[in-house]
Structure 1
Amino acid sequence: MKTDDLLRLLRRHQGVINASFTPDEFARYQDAVRALRTAGSDVRAVRIALRRVRVSLDPLPPGSELYRRLTQFRTAGTTSVLPDADELAALLRLLDSVEWPSLADASAELFRELRRELLAVPARGSDRLDPVSAADPVAAGLIRLTGTDGREQYPDFQFAPDTGDPLPVVQHVNRMILADQDPWGAAGWWLGRSVQLAGVPAELLGRVPDDTLTAAARALTDGGEVAW
């Protein structure tokens, strides 16, 4: 199934989505679809956006036809991944027509809650970075989160407990999942549960081979197939 087939499938089953989702859940789904438009023709960014769409559809009833069809969704190669602009625009128009008075507020609150959760994890400031990373932490492959007070912090899972140096596998994966463009999404991947890894990626550092973590990230972003 190509990305365009997915978009048409979602349009056909919009009623199921409306009936199944809370305003918060719908806002998450709508934002994920909008990320497809923002991604443009960047194949890696499109793959990441597709991953966000998949996660946003988790609240669907497992017994529904749409849920069963989604389990069969796979894309391969550049041409099948990039969405047709007209197909994507049609789905976005449909989503924009859904009227929930609290939808905008729910979306904003959802992001605020995500920020609060991610900013609450153990982290360090710029003063605790090694000299090489401190020169340009983002270019060094580190996730930088900025609080509402403007303070910058770097989640501790990115660093070796004994030396405090950045973990090479984290730097590599962060570049793969475009942490420089979407640090909140990258932090969410590391700190959220991965079905493929059967655990939280950040908690698996040092417990599973680095290649396993890298493969899980590559399956979402790079060439080959993307499993829905």
Structure 2
Amino acid sequence: MTSGTDELLELLRGHQPEIHASLTPGQFDRYRGAVRALRAAGDDIRAVRVAVRGVRQVLRALPPDSEPSRLLRQVRSPVTAAVLPDTDRLESLIRLLESVDWPALEPASAELARGVREWLLAAPARGADRLGAEASADPGGAALIRLTDGEGTARYPDFQFDPDTGEPRPVVQRINRLLLADQDPWGAADWWLGGNEWLSGTPAALVGQVPDEELTRAAHALLEEGAW
């Protein structure tokens, strides 16, 4: 059974760009500190409840009409014994917070970030109920890009899957791991679905059309340029 704490972690992980764009630098630092306090609470249920309240309190600074704020109001409070967070979910969020240099965004940049997110969500995708056997065994793993829409529903871009078998394409899994798709699924999706000068095309549209090694080299080229 998923606890309210885990629902909160999923919301935070799936909406990290909007949360960052909506908070001031000081507020975002306090938010990161509150998440770290949740990890430090360990298996002390009382400490976890205090830490979760701390996270929610910091997030009161979010605009009330923003998606994260609206979804946060729907997340159950940790009032039952089933409050301890799932370790993998929590560590995934911690990695995301610590692996990305989150600069302060100007309003125009924040609006651009939201526009990019909407564009990525508009790409053909499937829900968790349509994952093949292999993907279903590890739906949140580093090998698949998992985006979360405005309703909190997980969406897996279709290009990741073989159209005949429905299973994940191995080359996509390899590149997703290179791009740290578990830590920054939006950035990984942007690489796949955006134009790529190295390939003279869109990587997602070229899967199966060009050699797998060429796609992999393009991903390595991005990493070597330090643009990731």
TM-score by length of 2: 0.52
For 2:208 and 2:180, how far apart are their aligned partners in 1? 22
- CA spacing shift, 1:150–1:219, aligned 2, 3 Å: same
Q: 2:166 aligns with which of 164, 174, 196?
A: 164
Moved over 4 A (4+): none
Provide the residue aligned with 1:32 in structure 2: none
Letter in 2 for 1:199: G
Is the contact between residue 192 and residue 204 of structure 2 (CA under 8 Å) also seen in structure 1?
yes
- Please give the TM-score of this superposition, normalised by the length of structure 1: 0.52
Q: CA deviation at 1:142?
A: 0.5
| Contact 2:146 2:155 survives alignment (8 Å) | yes
Structure 2 partner of 1:181 = 183
* 1:177 Cα deviation after fit: 0.7
Q: CA deviation at 1:227?
A: 8.1
Q: CA deviation at 1:220?
A: 1.9
Distance in 2, Cα, partners of 1:149 & 1:187: 19
Within 5 Å, give how 1:47-196 maps onto structure 2. 104-139=106-141, 141-196=143-198
Specify the SS of the correspondent of 1:153.
strand
Partners in 2 of 1:114 and 1:130 — Cα distance?
28
Higher relative contact order at CA 8 Å, sep ≥6: structure 1 or structure 2? 1
Q: Does 1:226 align with 2:225?
A: yes
- Tell me which amino acid in the other structure corresponds to 2:188: A
Unpaired runs of 5+ residues, structure 2, are: 1-20, 22-100
Please give the secondary structure, in 1, of the residue aligned with 2:109. helix
Supply the distance in 1 between the matched residues of 2:117 and 2:189 (Cα, whole angstroms): 10
State the shift of 1:163 in Å. Answer: 1.2
Give 3-state SS (helix, strand or coil) of 2:106's partner. Answer: helix
Contact kept, 8 Å, 2:142 with 2:181, in 1: the verdict is no
The percent of aligned pairs where both chains have the same amino acid is 60
Q: 1:104 to 1:155 in 2, by over 3 A?
A: same
Q: Give the letter aligned to residue 195 of structure 2.
A: R
SS of the residue corresponding to residue 213 of structure 1 reads helix
Q: Distance in 1 between matches of 2:226 and 2:151?
A: 39
Cα distance change on mapping 1:107 and 1:208 into 2, 3 Å: same
2: distance between equivalents of 1:203 and 1:131?
24
Post-superposition Cα deviations, 1:123-159, rounded to whole Å, max 9, x if no partner, equal 0000011123113223260000001210010000000
* Aligned residue in 2 for 1:73: none
CA contact (8 A) 1:133 1:140 kept: no
- Alpha-carbon distance between aligned partners in 2 of 1:213 and 1:146, rounded to the nearest angstrom: 26
AA aligned opposite 2:225: V
State the aligned residue count: 128
Give unmatched runs, 5+ long, in structure 1: 1-26, 28-87, 97-102
**Residue in 1 aligned with 2:203?**
201
Q: How big is the shift at 1:219?
A: 1.6
Residue in 1 that maps onto 2:213: 211
Name the SS for the 1:171 alignment partner.
Answer: helix
Q: Secondary structure at the match of 1:110?
A: helix
What CA distance in whole angstroms lies between the structure 2 residues aligned with 1:184 and 1:170?
15
Separation in 1 of the partners of 2:225 and 2:128? 36
Q: What CA RMSD, in Å, does the superposition of the two structures yield over aligned residues?
A: 2.4
